[in-house]
Amino acid sequence: MTTQEVAAKLVEMCSQGKFQEAVAALYSDDIVSMEAGAPPGQSRESKGIAAIKAKGEWWGANHEVHSSAVEGPLVAGSHFAVTFKMDITFKPQSKRFQMEEIAVYKVKGGKIVYEEFFYAMEPGN
């Protein structure tokens, strides 16, 4: 698949809430995932499909998604970008909040090999 095709498929699957299915279908075994930030002592970077699947499963188990929207993609060469906007509750704290982020992906050999997320780690703008 081309970058455009991978991007279209990711947007389609995530728009349907099929986040874990998208990882299984579109991600390389050698995926590297970079968060905007990490708790003290932990890394922003996760490597390998097993770590990314585990992160996704933790996320799915700990968040209730009230609504979500995906915008994009913007495609440029081997990379594409989308936005995720979600109204979610972090279940362990019963804390509801709205999250908006930009995600950038790199495609190689028809698979997503890199993803990075951008969102503000502090209030205010």
Report the half-sphere exposure of 101 (CA within 13 A, side-chain side). 18
Q: Are strands 95-108 and 27-34 parallel, antiparallel or unpaired?
A: unpaired
Q: Which of residues 63-92 bind its own copies (CB under 8 A)?
A: 71-72, 74-85
Rounded least distance, CB 40 to its own copies, Å = 21
Nearest to 70 by CA among 27, 10, 6, 5: 10
58 versus 119: smaller Cβ distance to its own copies: 119
Is 124 a residue that touches its own copies (CB under 8 A)?
A: yes
Give the total of residues touching its own copies (CB under 8 A).
Answer: 29
Is 53 a residue that touches its own copies (CB under 8 A)?
A: no
Q: Residue 2 to residues 7, 36, 106, 124: CA-CA distances in angstroms? A: 8, 27, 11, 38
Is residue 53 classed as helix, strand or coil in its secondary structure? helix
Stretch that binds its own copies, among 7-15, 19-27, 43-51, 94-102 (CB under 8 A): 94-102
- The token duo for 44 is 């922003």
Residues that bind its own copies (CB under 8 A): 2-3, 71-72, 74-85, 100-102, 104, 106-109, 118-120, 124-125
